[in-house]
Amino acid sequence: MDDEELWKKINRQDERAFDAFYRQSAPRLQAFLRQIVGNREAAEDLTQESYLQLWRRPGSYRPERGSLRGYLYGVGRKRAAEWWRSKQPSAEAAEEPADAAGAESSSVMSDALQRLPEEQRSLLWLREVEGQSYAELAEILDIPIGTVRSRLFTAREALRQVWQAGARRSL
């Protein structure tokens, strides 16, 4: 089912269609939000709020502007920004330790990403982990595609510098 058909079903309050979309896409949105806010519980709450907004106001999605998933990531990103504005970052909001499986590689990657500014970190996550297209990124971030490309270049260069600095320290 394509996004427009799915959206029409959600717009008609089709609980099964909404549930299927939620089950398929919520874990990835939550992982993205966790990268932004650095707190599992807050990411869970923001994920729920994002889906709740879609359920209550499905008419705010415009199929001609991009994918439903891209729209939802934009909603989540805005909610995360509101969360940061309303809360002073503290030790409580620090990233929880990684799970045992893949902890070392996750730790290295998380450390590298955490050294980047939030905007660069979330942009890289959306592109490289979530596989969002440039058009979807432009929709999510509400910026032109050319700006997406230049910001991605800058973010990749910043990540490269973090990796190189880490490699020099370990020599």
Collapsing DSSP states into helix, strand and coil, what is residue 142?
Answer: coil
Are residue 86 and residue 123 in the same domain, yes or no? no
Q: Which of 42, 67, 96 is the last residue of a domain?
A: 96
Where residue 158 sits, what CATH number does that domain have? 1.10.10.10
> Do the beta carbons of residue 65 and residue 135 sit within 8 Å?
no
Which domain range does residue 73 map to? 1-96
Q: Which has the closest alpha carbon to 6: 47, 40, 54?
A: 54
Computed over every residue of the chain, the mean pLDDT equals 81
pTM of the entire predicted model? 0.64
Give the total number of structural domains in the chain.
2
Where residue 13 sits, what CATH number does that domain have? 1.10.1740.10
Sequence-distant contacts of 143-151: CB under 8 A, at least 24 apart? 148/123, 151/119, 151/120, 151/123
What are the tens digits of pLDDT across the range 26-41? 999 998 898 888 889 9
Are residue 110 and residue 127 in the same domain, yes or no? yes
What are the tens digits of pLDDT across the range 65-104? 888 888 899 899 889 888 877 875 444 444 444 444 444 4
Q: Which of 79, 96, 113 is the last residue of a domain?
A: 96
Are residue 87 and residue 11 in the same domain, yes or no? yes
